[in-house]
Amino acid sequence: MSSSVRSIVIALVAVVAISGAAAPALGSTAAQTAQQSPGSCDYVSLYDETIGSVVSIQTDAGIGSGYVYETGDNGSAIVVTNAHVVGESDDVMVQFTRGESVMGTVVGRDAGTDLAAVRVDDRPDYVEALPTTESQPQHGTPVAALGNPFGLEGTITQGIVSGLNRSLPTQRGVPIPDTVQTDAAISSGNSGGPLVNCQGEVVGVNAAGIAAPSAENIGFAISHRIVEQVVPELVQDGEFDQPYLGIGVAEVTPAIAEANDLNQTTGVYVGSVAEDGPAAGVLQGAEELAVVDDERVPVGGDVIVGVEGQEVRGMEDLSSILLTETEPGQNVSITVVRDGERQNVTVTAGERPAPTER
């Protein structure tokens, strides 16, 4: 294969959920209506019911937010925040909304999903864990972002779910999939705080906000599905094992579709396969380059159109499914279009190499 065929190595994450079962839908029509109707959300009551579980995370590098994810009988608690909030710190100061400050120990962090877990041993009596939603939010679901933007403690901003299954770019180069987009204002210092629905359930962990002069705020939160998969592993093992396929991929553009005689521009094109990677000998990368409308495009690679029985329309789908449905060592069923025909292949996912090993 020509070295000019662009390769973007995918290193995606997933882990088995605690229950091992799919998340059920909300159990009542009333709850669904409350989730979907912005006018039905009582933000005053929502704030009163949830703010006691929101904390400030303080390190030598600055201040962020977090929330109580789990409580123990002995007064302990697990606080969830962003990995970039705790940085490389082993210990952080956790401050509760009524002013109590305790030292917390970082028990696990994962840069790939930007999540971290902090253990505290002396939580105040009034502090409870915030529940995680059991259903996927819908477009238009009213939500609130809680945290400490610019160090302003106990702040709430309101909005709706603007988009789902977004890919959030990271400094590591591998985007976080399955993130929730919201127009609730998320500013510096909000990172690590919860994005909650009107029932006070966490639908995501605030991770980034964008404010453009000509547009309203656009914020992103790491989805509840990722939180429920990653955090238990961080608490138990201190790290999160991320599966690795060892493939370079690209969106199926019209030029790639034309060069490969594809009848549609959906799916994910496999441009390259690492020689010693998990997909070697199973998935097929590009064999040559062709010129379409003065553009050099790869020819001969597989097009991934399904994973584990779920449709893959683009890279967001591929990333999200691998993140939430697979783990290292698992045999992953992949549906590809090869030489014009659909076929199923099986790849045993590996564990993502450390960045220095790539």
Question: Annotated catalytic sites, by residue?
Answer: 84, 114, 191
Helix (H), strand (E), coil (C) string for the chain: CCCCCCCCEEECCCCCCCCCCCCCCCCCHHHHHHHHCHHHCCHHHHHHHHHHHEEEEEECCEEEEEEEEEECCCCCEEEEECHHHHCCCCEEEEECCCCCEEEEEEEEEECCCCEEEEEECCCCCCCCCCCECCCCCCCCCEEEEEECHHHCCCEEEEEEEEEEEEEECCCCCCCEEEEEEECCCCCCCCCCCEEEECCCCEEEEEEEEECCCCCCCEEEEEEHHHHHHHHHHHHHHCCCCCEEEEEEEEECCHHHHHHCCCCCCCCEEEEEECCCCCCCCCCCCCCEEEEECCEEEEECCCEEEEECCEECCCHHHHHHHHHHHCCCCCEEEEEEEECCEEEEEEEECEECCCHHHC
CA distances to 133, 138, 160, 220, 337 from 163, in Å: 17, 8, 9, 9, 29
What's the Rg (C-alpha) of the chain?
22
- Nearest residue to 69 via CA among 199, 193, 179, 156: 193
Encoded tokens for 1 = 């294969």
Backbone phi, then psi, for 352, in 5-degree steps? -60, 130
Distance, CA of 244 to chain centre: 16
Question: Among all chains, which residue has been given the structure tokens 């909304």?
Answer: 97
